[in-house]
A and B are shown apart, each in its own frame.
Chain A
Amino acid sequence: MARHLLMVTLLLLLVFPGNAFPDTSGASGDDAGKMMTQEEELYALSDYSGSDVEMVSGSTGETAGMTYPPAQHFLLRDDVTFGLGARFTGLTSGADSMRAAEYDYLHDSVAGGLSLHYYPLPWMLDLDFGIENSKDYDADLGVKFRDMIMLDYRSMGMYHNMDHNLFLNTQAPGDLEPDALYGVTIRDNDLTLTLKSPGRPYHVYVNLRQFDKDGTVQQRFDSNSFGNNKESVSRDIDWRTQELTAGVNGNVMGLFELDYHHTVKRFDNQADRLMAHTIVPPGLILRDHNSIPDVITHENVISVHSNQAWPLSGAATVAWGSKDNEYSGTRADFDRYYGDVTYRISDSIFAAVKYGRQNLNVTNLDTVLVTANMTVAPGTAVLRDSMSTKRDRGEVSLNYYPAANLLLLAQYKLDSVDRRNYKGWNDTALDDIILSAARGSSINHTGRLSATLTPMKHTKLRASFTATYNGDPSFVTDFQNSYEGRVWGTWTPSPGLVLNADAKIFRGDNPALSVPSATLAELDLNRDVEKDTAGLGVTWYAVPGLTLGTHYDYMRFKARQTIVVATTNIKEVPYWDTSHGYTVFGAYCFQNIPLSLAADFTQAWTRGTFFAETAAPDILASLSDQKIRDTRLNVKADYEVYRGWGTTLAYGVSQFRDMWSYELAERNSTAHYGSVMLTKKFK
């Protein structure tokens, strides 16, 4: 795909040569090398030739013949920027980690880019394309003819380096490929074509999307289901998701608008569908593992809404379809209904009601193939009925603007889940799923109040409070009671200085966990969770051309839960994660020479731990505790050498440090990036 895009780029360059775009930057002749002020640049961008502009015919008589200034801040101009260069990478790392370069393909390569904006009205063409190497690229293409033909195409490629996770506690066979490196190439191509009838609001559209994952990942699984034997091997993957949506929509008699579209989505596993043991212990039978089935989805969606400019307006969506697992025959049928009504009572009062229902029905065969237990031959077993769900969600909101700069909002939300066949999954004979027992029905009630104030221009303050109650939470990790308070603001005390602040506190508990078991003693369990975040940022436009800024972010997650560790033994297990992150950034555009510099530095400290109050091996610490420092530095310089010809130099370093000196320290890594680019800008 990248090769094709490059070809398209070159063709476009041939079709639209640089001299088709007159240079109006002013950086020519005697002015070469002189940087313009922002005001001068805006003048230049206006295509103002310097001569007086006469009032066009049809204007009011009083103003005819007067001269006007050029446009000042409206930009619609043709331009092309082309860049070509090289990118260099380097990595120092522990044996099995590229964590510092998680989303980077670590190979030196040719790099380039093209930005093309061409407007032979009524045609409009926009292309932004950048490529760092054969796997990292990004392209956005838009072609429009009036509003009758609209083509949008996006292509993205990236490489994801995967960790090689170690077994912390296992017996043979263990990791069979200890030196293996894992990574996946991801390619996302998305094209939408919309055609509109001339002068009429009727559209036909089609969307095509193809999403590919191709590479090698680590697979770990239980080697024989007994003891502590686990095995780790590589798995080649080649997964493709193709999605086609075709639809029509239009305005019906000026009263409402109707849309229908059908989507077919297919997930195709083009590599191995199953994994198998590499080593089969004597006396045991080879078993399949980790199935990745092909799935095909069909969906129909009908949407209708009234004119949304009306005081009373509404929107409704009905969707239905199915998903079929082509390997096992499992099928999920779904239908979904959503609707909202909004009512503008006056200029200052606005009410909205939303409701949605989702039905999901999963069906399976009556029996399932049972793989062999030890030396016993495979057979079949009766399969439990699949769990199906019905979910209702509603929301009532009331907005009140006592003044144009003050918004008061009150909301109530309902979230209800009903499950069918849930009892079959709450099999108390299976001691390991008792606490996961799902409730037959569960209803969340949430209330929210918020106030937003704009005391002055470019300044906004907001405070909100949210409370939720659920008498019978679905799962242990849901809350019976929870509260969240948040304050947020952005303040511009003086031109050139912007302050941002944000703080949120969350508290939730589930104090009445029960153990619906006939085999265990009744135990009183409890769960409390705290989630807090805070942020503070400052941006300062210090002097012309210079921007400085910093922001700090804090996050904390803390949970305390009693966990069953023996038939009559429960332990309170505290767990917490915290992180502190800060960024410093700056940019300077020199006033007398065509040089701009930019740099940013980010560091995040993340710590976390949990303690089980039971005797545990030393190795526990390496799994339960963590202390990570993530550091990034980026520096970039742009210099215009001569008449739109310029060069861009960039350097970046990324460092991942696992500060805990156990096995996981092998994840430590440092990545360096550098690039040199020659650019040419045509205007």
Chain B
Amino acid sequence: MGMRNTLTAIGAAAVLLYAALGWAGTSGSHEDYKAMVAGRAGAELVGNKTCWNCHMNDTHAAQEGAVVNCEDCHGAGDLAVKDLHEEKGRMACNYKTFINISELPKPAQSMVCIKCHSGNATFNLHNWNAGAHNLNGVSCLDCHNMHHGDNLKPSRADMDKMCYNCHQNVRAQFMLPTHHAVPEGKVACVDCHNPHGSPNPGPMLLRQTVKETCVRCHAEKEGPFVFEHSDVMEDCTACHFAHGSANDNLLAQRMPYLCLQCHGNHSMTTEDTSRRFGTNCTDCHSSIHGSDLNGIGSGNGRFLR
């Protein structure tokens, strides 16, 4: 099936899907989302200062000028403060009258943040809606603790442990003998990934392509070179594992097996077995990431120099 036919089929499927879902969704009330965006219906606003009597140190709310009001997220609060009562030896408002954020679907939970952060040109959320986290049921609240600490961003020091909660297999990769310096605290997940989503349909990378992400730090391998390693160089993960590897230099497999997979018939004479199986290929092909220098021969390039 040609590319054009494939895209046509996808387009047709998308239109049908849109129509079907539109029909299925006509009974959808969007009430949860309305509640998140517009606040709780049937209650009156009481203002931040009422809340601050007890909750005076909230990072979001405490900023002068009321950048964020408590009720922006929790809904109007007059029903809550009208029903002040003692609970477990302390005075408490009737918090059950607030929007129960934790009971909402995850995309609706995120809406409490999106409704503002999509309106004030915070472009780090540019691809949030179609991002892998939103699609897989991860909300803003799963990573950001709105009421804790001096900064709502997860700290770099604790980030890996937070991400391992879901990405447990990645922790195993970082335990391997060669790894990026994440366990050592020198590299953080956000140095390569954008947890808010990426324009690229691939993994949530910080940059638009795998190569662009890697050459942030490994720019000496960026090129372009006269002799490129085909278009393999556009995807570094063809030969390297990004998190950790059992092999040196984060190689996906040890040399020479790594290279023999594609270049198995190197030197066709049997006496060269030792060269083929007993040598690191890059001992000779030392410019394997690309070269500007021709070797012997006719301008084909073999990354020998």
* A and B co-occur in one complex: yes
* Cα distance, A654 to B50, chains bound together (Å): 54
Is B267 located at the chain interface by the 8 A CB criterion? Answer: yes
Is B144 in the interface zone, CB < 8 Å from A?
no
Docked pose: A259 CA to B232 CA in angstroms: 32
Does residue B238 face the partner (Cβ distance < 8 Å to A)? Answer: yes
Q: Is the CB of B305 within 8 A of A371?
A: yes
Tell me which residues from 157 to 172 in chain B have a Cβ below 8 Å from any Cβ of chain A: 165-166, 168-169, 171-172
From B13, B49, B171, B278, give the contact of A56 (CB < 8 A). B49
Given A63-B81, A201-B119, A347-B108: A575 and B274 interface contact (C-beta under 8 Å): no
Residues of B within 8 A of A73 (CB): 147-148
Q: Which of B17, B62, B257 has the most CB of A within 10 A?
A: B257
Q: Which residues of A contact B155 (CB under 8 A)?
A: 128
* Contact B64 A158, beta carbon cutoff 8 Å: no
Interface 1/0 per residue, B33-65 and A, CB below 8 Å? 100010000000011011011111111001111
User: Nearest chain B CB to A203's CB is how many angstroms away?
Assistant: 6
Task: Give the residue name and chain of the B residue nearest to A292 (CB).
Answer: B220
The 0/1 profile, CB within 8 Å of B marked 1, for residues 51-94 of chain A is 00101111110110011111101111100000000000000000
A-B contact pairs, 29 of them (CB 8 A): A59-B47, A68-B53, A103-B181, A163-B248, A169-B274, A169-B279, A221-B286, A241-B216, A250-B121, A254-B119, A291-B291, A317-B199, A317-B208, A328-B292, A346-B25, A350-B107, A371-B296, A384-B300, A387-B228, A396-B13, A401-B105, A411-B135, A417-B231, A488-B166, A563-B264, A567-B268, A608-B246, A616-B274, A617-B278
User: In the complex, what residues of B have CB within 8 A of residue A214's CB?
Assistant: none
Closest Cβ–Cβ distance, residue B93 to chain A (whole Å): 9
A398 within 8 A of B: yes
Residue contact A409 to B268, C-beta cutoff 8 Å = no
Cβ-closest chain B residue relative to A562: B264
Residues of chain A within 8 A (CB-CB) of B22 are 345
Partner of B294, one of A251, A265, A381, A387: A381
In angstroms, Cα B254 to Cα A573, docked, is 13
Which residues of chain A come closer than 8 Å to B53, judged between CB atoms?
Answer: 53, 55-56, 59, 68
Residue of A nearest to B83 (CB): A62
Smallest CB-CB A-B distances: 6 pairs:
A346-B28, A345-B25, A553-B172, A381-B299, A340-B130, A338-B199
Q: What is the minimal beta-carbon distance from B34 to any residue of chain A, in angstroms?
A: 9
Mask: chain A, 321-359; 1 = CB below 8 Å from B; 0 = not: 001010110111000101011111111111111111010
* Residues B208 and A338 in contact, CB atoms below 8 Å apart: yes
- Are B21's CB and A347's CB within 8 A? no
| Interchain CA distance A412-B171 in the complex, whole Å | 28
Question: Within A556-577, which residues are at the interface with B (CB < 8 Å)?
Answer: 557, 559, 561, 563-567, 573, 575, 577
Contact A74 B55 (CB under 8 A): yes
**Of all chain A residues, which has the CB nearest B191?**
A188
Cβ of A404 and Cβ of B166 under 8 Å apart? no
Task: Classify chain A: how many residues form its interface, as a range.
Answer: 35 or more
Closest Cβ of chain A to B153, distance in Å, is: 9
Give the docked Cα–Cα distance between A656 and B46 (Å). 62
Indicate whether B240 reaches chain A with its CB closer than 8 angstroms. Answer: no
CA distance A564 to B260 in the complex (A): 9
B202 adjacent to chain A (CB < 8 Å): yes
B265 A577 Cβ-Cβ under 8 A: no
CA distance A484 to B212 in the complex (A): 27
Closest to B17 in A: A351
In the docked arrangement, what's the CA distance between A386 and B54, Å? 68
Query: What string of 1s and 0s marks CB contacts (under 8 Å) between A426-459 and chain B?
Result: 0100111111101001010000001010000100
Q: How far is the CB of A219 from chain B (nearest CB, A)?
A: 7
Q: Check A309 for interface membership: any CB of B closer than 8 A.
A: yes
Q: Is B253 an interface residue (CB 8 A)?
A: yes
CB < 8 Å: which of B30, B136, B263 contacts A344?
B30
Whole-angstrom distance between the Cβ of A226 and the nearest chain B Cβ? 9
Interface residues of B in 52-80 (CB under 8 A from A): 52-59, 62-65, 67, 78
Note all chain B residues with C-beta closer than 8 A to A230. 283-284
Q: Is the CB of A75 within 8 A of B57?
A: yes
CB of A566, distance to nearest CB on chain B (Å): 6
Q: Give B250-285 interface residues, CB cut-off 8 Å to A.
A: 253-257, 260-268, 270, 273-280, 282-285
Question: A146, B67: Cβ atoms under 8 Å?
Answer: yes
Contacts of A608 in B (CB 8 A): 246-247, 254
Chain A positions within 8 Å of B232 at CB level: 475
Q: Which listed residue, A170, A313, A365, touches B129 by the CB 8 Å rule?
A: A313
> Given known contacts A71-B56, A427-B300, is B234 in contact with A535 (CB within 8 Å)?
no
Q: A60-B50, A368-B299, A555-B173 are in contact. Are A477 and B238 (CB under 8 A)?
A: yes
Which single member of A46, A99, A347 contacts B30 (CB below 8 Å)?
A: A347
- Is A225 an interface residue when CB atoms closer than 8 A count as contact? yes
Give chain B nearest CB distance to A386 CB in angstroms: 7
Interface pair A309/B115, CB less than 8 Å apart: yes
A220-B286, A381-B294, A409-B137 given; name 12 further pairs at CB < 8 Å: A66-B91, A74-B56, A295-B224, A309-B33, A338-B201, A340-B199, A347-B29, A353-B14, A387-B230, A393-B201, A397-B135, A604-B176
When C-beta atoms are compared, the residue in chain B nearest to A140 turns out to be: B156
Q: Which residues of A contact B156 (CB under 8 A)?
A: 140
Listed stretches A2-10, A11-19, A623-631, A636-644; interface member:
A623-631
CB nearest neighbor in A for B89 = A69
Residue A308 interfacial (CB < 8 Å): yes
The smallest beta-carbon distance between B128 and chain A, in angstroms, is 6
Q: Are B201 and A394 in contact (CB under 8 A)?
A: yes
Residues from chain A with Cβ under 8 Å of B29 in the complex: 346-347
Contact: B151 with A126, CB < 8 Å? yes
For window 3-30 of B, CB contacts with A under 8 Å fall at: 3, 6-7, 10, 13-14, 17-18, 21-22, 24-25, 27-30
Tell me, rounded to whole Å, the shortest Cβ–Cβ distance linking B105 to chain A: 4
- Note all chain A residues with C-beta closer than 8 A to B6: 414, 416, 443
If A290-B287, A577-B246 touch, does A56 touch B52 (CB 8 Å cutoff)? yes
Q: Indicate if the CB atoms of A356 and B298 lie closer than 8 Å.
A: no
Q: Which of A20-28, A30-38, A116-124, A590-598 contacts B (4 or more CB under 8 A)?
A: A116-124
- Tell which of B226, B231, B264 touches A368, judged by Cβ atoms closer than 8 Å: B226
Could you say which residues of chain B place their CB within 8 Å of the CB of A450?
136
Given A75-B148, A77-B57: A167 touches B222 (CB 8 Å cut-off)? no
Partner of B224, one of A220, A331, A367: A331
Known: A393-B200, A438-B230. A382 touches B219 (CB 8 A): no
Contact B27 A346 (CB under 8 A): yes
Q: Is the CB of A319 closer than 8 A to any CB of chain B? A: yes
Is B123 close to A, CB under 8 A? yes
A289-B305, A330-B292, A398-B17 known; A383+B274 contact, CB < 8 A: no
| Contacts A76-B57, A201-B121; A336 near B286 (Cβ below 8 A) | no
